[in-house]
Structure 1
Amino acid sequence: MNLNDVWFLLIAVLWAGYFLLEGFDFGVGVLLPVLGRSETQRRVLLNTIGPVWDGNEVWLIVAAGATFAAFPEWYATLFSGFYLPLLLILVALILRGVAFEYRGKVDSDRWRRNWDRAIVFGSLVPAVLWGVAFGNIVRGVALNADHHNVGGFVDLLNPYALLGGLTTLLLFVTHGAVFLALKTTGPIRASARAVAGGVGIAAVAAAGGFLAWTQILRGDAITAGTAVVAAATLVAALIANRAGREGWAFLATAVTVLAATATLFLALYPNVLPSTLDPAYSLTTTNAASSPYTLRIMTWVAVAFTPVVLLYQGWTYWVFRKRIGVQHIPPATSAPPPAGAARP
């Protein structure tokens, strides 16, 4: 295996880690108005991901940076051809991060409701558009001989990619609901289990159809195996969730996300962006890669710093591993106005 293949594998691992960790973040955000019937319950939901959501987004930054450094032509073609959906994802993620920080700054129900809407929007849009984007990456786009995408935005809204967007949305919501059942107590835990069971059935249907279509499009014996693992573990997650075994259910949905991501990257390889005009125009791990010297330097950097990042993030999850409920949320208080300030 040469360094081109090694870095394709590492980028696949980074995206799988991102979807695994940020996936339940997105699910929690989408479920905020569904499971958060009161301000205290919404604070419980947000506190389950509060210590980890920004660390989870590091996986996206590293994945994008690794793509830029290891496969610059893939990065350039991808970000120019997918400009509008990726811009929408970026805006949604920025708005979501601001909402997490700002919703508690003013003691106003209207203020908090507006920022809660921003959290839902900032979670829903990426959950859908990442599936659409990766559906198009696997399916291929209209690359010409110069590796320029000559297709338009409407071309990205094809049935296969739209099914991919529906699949990631339902899968992330199921993953997030199972995470909430694992991390909370009382009525929220019971409601999260009910939501996971209901949405999970729809996720099984969507994911089964999308992975089967992927297998027909670009699959082989290996992708068939990973697709079966993804489907089987998702069904196992629903069974464990129904039995009240949230830890096993979350482990199963985690394996589902990893196996589904592996299926997409295995179906893509050795291409990194196929051409629908002519297979000879496709970007591959060979013609899109950086120089061998660049890849060697990147490899040493990855070997040195990746264990540090993994240990730190693992420690964060261990520290905040316990369940929380409404009894752990202190009453909301607002800071008194400065002396002499007029009250509104």
Structure 2
Amino acid sequence: METILGIDLPTLWFLVIGGLITGYGVLDGFDLGAGSLHLFFNKEESRRIALNAIGPVWDGNEVWLVISGGALFAGFPLVYGTILSTFYVPFMLFLVALIFRAISIEFRSKETMAWWRKMWDISYMVSSTLITLLLGLILGNLIHGLPFNEKHEFTGNLLSFFNPYSILIAFTTLSLFMLHGAIYLVMKTENRLYAKLTIMVNNCSKFFILCFILASMSTLIYIPHMTDQFKEYPWLFALPLLAVLTVLNIKRNIDNRKYFTAFVFSSCITAMLLILFAIGLYPNIIISTTDPANSISIYHAASSPKALRIMLLIAAIGTPLVLGYTIFVFWTFRGKVKLNEMSY
């Protein structure tokens, strides 16, 4: 099998897609978390500041989702088709929620009526929360596994997605993004809103730590295949240990009001949890609970070597450009949020 830098092409594409999805989780995670917290702000000025904290970056962060989807289609078309057909209803809800989140941000300040702004505030909060829960639900089902036949056709129904483990992962994702978003907002605000957010960050950290413990224990007890790689390569146990230390460091930095460092660690734990998810699945992407032989591995689903090489070159050119743009935007709009006539 053809390799690059000692890594076979399917594995390399698995890493590329994982990196892109991680980028989306880290970047859009705090946007979604800020949206889920939106109705906890009672004053009009506070809501506007919270919106303008993510205003310059939220749409650019979603680019990582588009790139991730395109990379999955190019690298593993069978996985792309199977996932989209299996999660058809969740993905349709996801797309509707994405649309409503965008128009809620853009439409809210177009009129001054209180009912108009409240309507879009509710829409923004509900859509952000729904997107997060759906992402967590899909992730939880991929970890748990789903019933597939030998033709890779989903044999379950809509209720199959709502198993206890996947629901727990959905709320763990929500708790993580709420914490991530709260830390980001506290870095962008000052005065009374800053004081309110310091309390909110502390509460979100407790919510996340509880969900993190429950999700970790549930995975170890009820999802045995997620530990197979760790049993085969014991040195990988350093990663869960680092994840625990990262969570503790988030809490420590929050208590010391070192919010930038806490934000760095909340970004790291988002990335590390996705890395642990990828290690647990590898070399599979979709696991069948009906028969392990019906699972889809990266080697079974990969495109031709020529297609992988060409798309890898495109990814090597495009990804740094998107990363550079993201860094530029964050640097340009650094600092505390100040409202003006151009604000949302």
TM class by shorter chain equals over 0.9
In structure 2, C-alpha distance between the alignment counterparts of 1:118 and 1:222, rounded to whole Å: 46
Tell me which of 300, 323, 326 is aligned to 2:336.
323
One-letter identity of the residue aligned with 1:169: L
Could you say if the C-alpha distance between residues 45 and 85 of structure 1 is closer, same or farther in structure 2, counting changes exceeding 3 Å? same
How far apart are 1:222 and its partner, in Å?
5.8
Q: Does 1:116 align with 2:126?
A: no
Equivalent AA in structure 2 for residue 159 of structure 1: P
Residues 58-100 of structure 1, C-alpha deviations (whole Å, 9 max, x = no match): 1111111111111111011111111111111111011000111
How far 1:208 sits from its partner (Å)? 2.1
1:287 aligns with 2:300: yes
Identity of aligned residues (%): 36
Amino acid aligned to 2:284? N
Give the distance between the partners of 1:147 and 1:212, measured in 2 at CA: 30
SS state at 1:272 partner: strand
Which of residues 264, 276, 279 in structure 2 aligns to 1:263? 276
Aligned with 1:227 (options 235, 240, 265):
240
TM-score (structure 1 length as normaliser): 0.92
Confirm or deny: 8 A CA contact 1:223 1:267 kept in the other structure: no
Displacement after TM superposition at 1:154 (Å)? 0.7
**Is 2:170 the partner of 1:165?**
yes
SS at match of 1:141: coil
SS in 1 for 2:149: coil
Q: Deviations over 1:297-344 (max 9, x none)?
A: 1011011121111111101000111112xxx324799xxxxxxxxxxx
Contact 1:271 1:282 in 2 (8 A): yes
Is the partner of 1:322 in helix, strand or coil? coil
> Aligned-pair distance for 1:229?
2.2
Supply the distance in 1 between the matched residues of 2:116 and 2:244 (Cα, whole angstroms).
41
Aligned to 2:311: 298
Q: Does 1:180 align with 2:185?
A: yes
CA–CA distance in structure 2, aligned partners of residues 323 and 211 of structure 1 = 36
Measured after TM superposition, the shift of residue 204 of structure 1 is: 0.8
Does the CA contact (< 8 Å) of 1:223 and 1:263 recur in 2?
A: no
1:196 lines up with 2:201 in the alignment: yes
**Distance apart, 1:165 and its partner CA:** 0.3
Superposed counterparts of 1:1-344, under 5 Å: 1-34=7-40, 36-216=41-221, 217=223, 218-219=226-227, 220=230, 221=234, 224-324=237-337, 328-330=338-340
Flag structure 2 segments of 5+ consecutive residues without an equivalent: 1-6
CA–CA distance in structure 2, aligned partners of residues 281 and 234 of structure 1? 36
Contact preservation (8 Å) 1:27, 1:175: yes
RMSD: 1.5
Instruction: Give me the whole-angstrom Cα distance separating, in 2, the residues matched to 1:280 and 1:332.
Output: 57
CA deviation map 1:271-293 (0-9, x unaligned): 01011011111000011111111
**One-letter code aligned to 1:132:** L
Q: What is the Cα deviation at residue 255 of structure 1?
A: 0.8
Amino acid of the structure 1 residue aligned with 2:187:
L
Once the two structures are overlaid, the 10-residue window that deviates more, 296-305 or 231-240, is: 231-240
Q: Is the 8 A contact 1:131 1:168 kept in 2?
A: yes
Instruction: Give, as a single letter, the amino acid of the residue that structure 2 aligns with 1:189.
Output: Y
